[in-house]
Amino acid sequence: MDWFALREGRYESLPLDPSGIYRGGVFPGLWLDAAALIRGDMQPVAQVQQEGLASPEHMAFVAQLQAVHSAAT
């Protein structure tokens, strides 16, 4: 499985992190255990997703979105 990001008009394959997880850059906290997904082992897939959503990067992203929303209203 490959995960790609569009950068400067070109798609680039994103690397796995050292623990074998894809970590999204556009949506911080979007993490994917591709090997578990391919195996159909959804428990680790869900666990990694929850870890991503609890990460400091995701929390900062949410705070940024909330600040933009507050400024717009």
By residue range, what is the domain housing residue 61?
A: 4-72
pLDDT at residue number 44:
97
Q: How many domains are there within the chain? A: 1
pLDDT for residue 25 is more than 90: no
Q: What is the value of pTM for the model shown?
A: 0.82
Question: Is the pLDDT score of 26 beyond 90?
Answer: no
Rounded CA separation 16/72 (Å): 36
Distance CA 13, CA 6 (A): 9
Distances (CA, A) of 58 to 12, 24, 31, 35, 39: 22, 10, 10, 22, 26
